[in-house]
Amino acid sequence: MTIRSMRRFDDEPIIPMDLGNIRSLGVRSLDVQCHKCHHEIVLNVDRWPDHVTVPSFGPRLVCTRCGATGADVRPNWREYKPKRMP
């Protein structure tokens, strides 16, 4: 039996949001918090393409305060604009 055949439907990985998803909700930046010193910034992501996923930023970010690599990254929901009903 291979590993693949043992997979069950509820083992499907959660698909991470990408920048195209959050832009469609009006969000154009990410909330970033350093793992180490909890320094928080808002990162504008206009210069990255739609297919880049939100979690892919985390390991690449370097804190400007303490120099640690790696951060918690989430969409900046303060910019969220619910779609208007027609």
Strand order in the sheet with 40-44: 40-44, 29-34, 71-75
Residue in 7, 60, 65, 69 binding Zn ion, rule: CB under 5 A? 65
| 16, two tokens | 């991470």
Residue in 19, 54, 63, 73 binding Zn ion, rule: CB under 5 A? 63
Residue 62 interacting with Zn ion (CB under 5 A): no
Alpha carbons 86 and 83: distance in angstroms, whole number: 9
Residue 7 interacting with Zn ion (CB under 5 A): no
Residue in 27, 34, 61, 73 binding Zn ion, rule: CB under 5 A? 34
Q: How many CB atoms lie within 10 A of CB 30?
A: 23
Residues that bind Zn ion (CB under 5 A): 34, 36-37, 39, 63, 65-66, 68
